Chain A
């Protein structure tokens, strides 16, 4: 029979996939892959702070990631550096600072690999609660800001001119990104969270012709990736994060076949 820890991981993973599906579509549409990476890297700092202050990991990561996002927006206004340079700067410096802090915390035994790549054994009932409360909350908020966020993704000036307040939607979206990273870090690991966001959405793009369709396929792709990935993880004793991402990659490759077919049809 399936082990308890596996059931916990599965429930947690499915909860995450439902949220990363729609968010991932926006990450692709708005070209935010590196932004996601930056927030994820900064999460390590959040984790170390949580250990130091004996605080909840998800909340701590959420606060630090939001903070990094705010610093990024501020730096964009204040410096002439290009966006990707700023992202790299923040990503690596927060990762470095996080690792340095870990070095000081000699009294705690850290599973660095678990942090970087996820650990299904580490998922507790508590984590499941956080995922299944935080996740739907993120989805509800995303639904509320969908119109302005999507419109400004297509064209900022149209959204602004027709009174949709795109800046507010963008700010809220940034916070949602910090939120998904916070709830999924234990499961997927901070190096691979962006993969969980992008790969199912990329797979969905290959087989969709409308935004709604892409969101739905992206969710389905994420759910399948979690199931496939966790089964593999259990079977071969591999880390959960990489197994899930590898499963997502497998689905992406399958979706390429569909593109090939539709190109053939067009000719």
Chain B
């Protein structure tokens, strides 16, 4: 029995539609303290929608959302900020919560953008802005962190470092993380629980369980399955040419 106090958000058969089109249907999942839940799925499979349901941005839903925390950090996939606003990085960090100078510095240092603190937000590059977005979300030491494609536009080495950071934050702050990513390679090393979406939950479980699931294979192909199962470190097959799998 797991203690219920660890649950931060719980979706129970949550469905959301715009007009007559269902964006997601019957999604159930829960996010607990100290655990990373990753949503994967093809484009348009409802990953961001699911995140927004969990965050309470979409309110008119069928099913239920139970939210047990108000300390939330969110890195949205798309963010349209009006660049005519005079907004420096430091102003943006304290957008939803006032912080001490020290906390602002800490967060910006963690994501490697402390030197941009007094820069205008509109002058940043895509990758720099992404790092600022992550810094903002973690600066308030949230209990729930929702990261929607958090490393888009970040250079390769930065990407690895940021995923390490996300893992570290989850451990240190003991916060629950809902992560959305396309990058199966990087994600799987840190994830506790994977939910594979395609408008509905097509399968879920540990990365290895998901990798073995036939629906997952049908959705992503055999190649993707190999990627996931590589992290198992226990090969029950050998790779032949052309990426085919031969069972032992």
Option from B56, B84, B96, B98 in Cβ contact (under 8 Å) with A158: B96
Complex CA distance for A205 and B86, rounded to whole angstroms:
7
Nearest CB of A to B52, in Å: 7
**Which chain A positions have C-beta within 8 A of B120?**
209
- B86, A210: Cβ atoms closer than 8 Å: yes
> Could you tell me which residues of chain A, from 183 to 223, have a CB within 8 Å of some CB in chain B?
205, 208-211, 213-214
Binding site for B on A (CB under 8 A): 28-29, 31, 147, 150-151, 153-155, 157-164, 205, 208-211, 213-214
Task: Determine the distance from Cα of A32 to Cα of B100 in the docked complex, in whole angstroms.
Answer: 33
The answer to whether A214 touches B74, judged by C-beta atoms less than 8 angstroms apart, is no
What band does the interface of chain B fall in when counting residues whose beta carbon is under 8 Å from A? 20 to 34
Contacts of A151 in B (CB 8 A): 95-96
**Chain-A contact segment, one of B35-43, B75-83, B196-204:** B75-83
Q: How far is the CA of A155 from the CA of B83 in the complex (A)?
A: 11
User: Could you jot down 22 A-B contacts, CB within 8 Å?
Assistant: A147-B96, A150-B95, A151-B96, A153-B85, A154-B82, A154-B85, A154-B87, A155-B79, A155-B95, A157-B55, A157-B74, A157-B79, A158-B79, A159-B96, A161-B76, A162-B74, A162-B97, A163-B70, A205-B86, A210-B86, A211-B87, A214-B86
User: What are the residues of chain A within 8 A of B96 when measuring CB–CB?
Assistant: 147, 151, 158-159, 162-164
Give, as a whole number of angstroms, the nearest-CB distance from B107 to chain A.
15
Alpha-carbon gap, A162 to B92, bound state (A): 14
Partner of A211, one of B55, B73, B91, B146: B91
Complex CA distance for A157 and B57, rounded to whole angstroms: 6
A-B CB contacts (within 8 Å), total count: 74
Interface residues of B in 116-150 (CB under 8 A from A): 120, 140, 146
Q: Give B88-118 as 1s and 0s: 1 = Cβ < 8 Å from A's Cβ atoms.
A: 1001100111100000000000000000000
Q: Name B residues whose Cβ lies closer than 8 Å to a Cβ of A.
A: 52, 55-57, 70, 72-74, 76, 79-82, 84-88, 91-92, 95-98, 120, 140, 146
Residues of A within 8 A of B95 (CB): 150-151, 154-155, 158-159
CA distance in complex: A211, B73 (Å): 22
With CB as the reference atom, state the residue of chain B lying closest to A205. B86
Are B87 and A210 neighbours in the complex by a CB distance under 8 Å? yes
Which residue of the partner chain B has the closest CB to A30?
B82
Residue of A147, A151, A157, A211 ringed by the most chain B CB atoms within 10 A: A157
Q: What are the residues of chain A within 8 A of B74 when measuring CB–CB?
A: 157-158, 161-162
List, in ascending order, chain A residues with CB within 8 A of B57's CB.
Answer: 157, 160-161
